[in-house]
Amino acid sequence: MSFGSRARAAMQAYGPACVGIDPHAALLEAWGLPDSVEGLDRFASTCVEAFAGQVAFVKPQSAFFERFGARGVVVLERTIEDLRHTGSLVVLDVKRGDIGSTAQAYADAYLDDDAPMAADAITVSPYLGFGSLQPFFDVAEKNDAGVFVLALTSNPEGPEVQHAVSGDRTVAGNVLAQLATLNAGAEPMGAYGAVVGATIGDAAEDLAINGPLLVPGFGAQGGTVGDIRRLFGDVIDNVIPSTSRGVLSAGPDVQALRDSAARVNAELVGS
């Protein structure tokens, strides 16, 4: 099955929410864990136990594992392996973006199904030119994986690039239009998604890309169900709201984490 098909099936089975695994120092402390590889390992293992086969998408943030060096990357690799093929899809948040053979190497590292850290999908940055992402799309297509491209992020520095005008579109609008072209005709939706923040305010760009829309900023960062309904309107069925602290603050109890994720899904489905 294509990533678009698997994503739609997972959303129908579990609800649309994506739960982030963001083991930053403050959260480790809140869980009573040391800010060490050992604490990281316990945190990640608890998240796997809580969310595997319980939510549609789980999104490990690579940076919070990488900060512990090689041993942290080993934990990330094991976390991805433990999550995959459980019913939950792994979206690895790495935001890679490069050109030529380097982009190809990143694509092979994260999207080739035989790679040690292969995920169901990854996040990438298009701001070296949309064409620089072609190796990611090629490897994703070969392996039935997905790619989420940064389009309209909610960080305050984003608009200076994303809202800049190129031709008759904003830069973000051009990214979205090219994703729509890649996804044209795909059923039930394409494999190539966009990252659009829940707290961007308003979106004048066309979000109908026939692909999944990964929406960070929901929950603890201020994004609400009302924001999602207002921003995404007719394409809301393709929206994957992402939350980390809003769910993870219920830990480290496994059942409390599951209950927290279930409440988020119930709120979203009820909208």
Tens-place pLDDT, residues 139-173: 999 999 999 999 999 888 998 999 999 889 999 99
Q: What is the torsion angle, in degrees rounded to the nearest 10, for the CA atoms of residue 190, residue 267, residue 158 and residue 138?
A: -20
CA distance 76 to 83: 11
H-only helix segments in the chain: 3-14, 25-30, 37-51, 62-66, 70-83, 100-111, 134-143, 159-162, 171-183, 225-232, 245-248, 254-270
pLDDT category of residue 247 using cuts at 50, 70 and 90: very high
Distance in angstroms (rounded) separating the CA atoms of residues 225 and 246? 13
Cis peptide before 188, with omega less than 30 degrees from 0?
yes
Residue 67 CA to residue 206 CA, distance in Å, equals: 37
Q: Which of 167-193 are b and which e, b meaning 16 or more Cβ less than 10 Å from the residue's Cβ?
A: eeebbbbbbbebbbebbeebeebbbbb
The yes-or-no verdict on residue 98 having pLDDT over 70 is yes
pLDDT of 155 reads 87
SS3 assignment, position 164: coil
Q: Is residue 22 classed as helix, strand or coil in its secondary structure?
A: coil
pLDDT in tens, 109-122: 999 999 999 999 99
Per-residue pLDDT for 270 more than 90?
no
223: left (phi over 0), alpha (psi -120 to 50) or beta: beta
Q: What is the pLDDT of residue 166?
A: 84
Q: Hey, what are 145's tokens?
A: 């994986």
Catalytic residues: 95
Name the pTM for this structure: 0.96
Determine the angle formed by the axes of helices 37-51 and 254-270, rounding to 10 degrees.
50
Q: pLDDT digits over 205-235, tens only?
A: 999 999 999 999 887 677 788 889 989 999 9
Question: Is the pLDDT assigned to residue 131 strictly greater than 70?
Answer: yes
- Cα–Cα distance between 102 and 170 in angstroms, integer? 27
3-270 classified as CATH 3.20.20.70? yes
Mean pLDDT of 240-244: 96
The helix (H) or strand (E) run that includes residue 123 is strand 121-124
pLDDT at 175 over 90: yes
- The answer on pLDDT for 174 being more than 90 is yes
For the chain, counts of helices (H) and of strands (E): 12, 10
Residues in a beta bridge with 266: none
The answer to whether 207 touches 183, Cβ cutoff 8 Å, is: no
- Written as six digits, the tokens of 12 are 């129908």
Query: What is the token pair recorded at 213?
Result: 């829309």
**How much is the pLDDT for 271?**
54
Residue length of the chain: 271
- Please, what is the average pLDDT of the chain? 95
17-58 confidence digits (pLDDT tens) = 999 999 999 999 999 999 999 999 999 999 999 999 999 999
Percentages of the chain per state (helix, strand, coil), in multiples of 5: 50, 15, 35
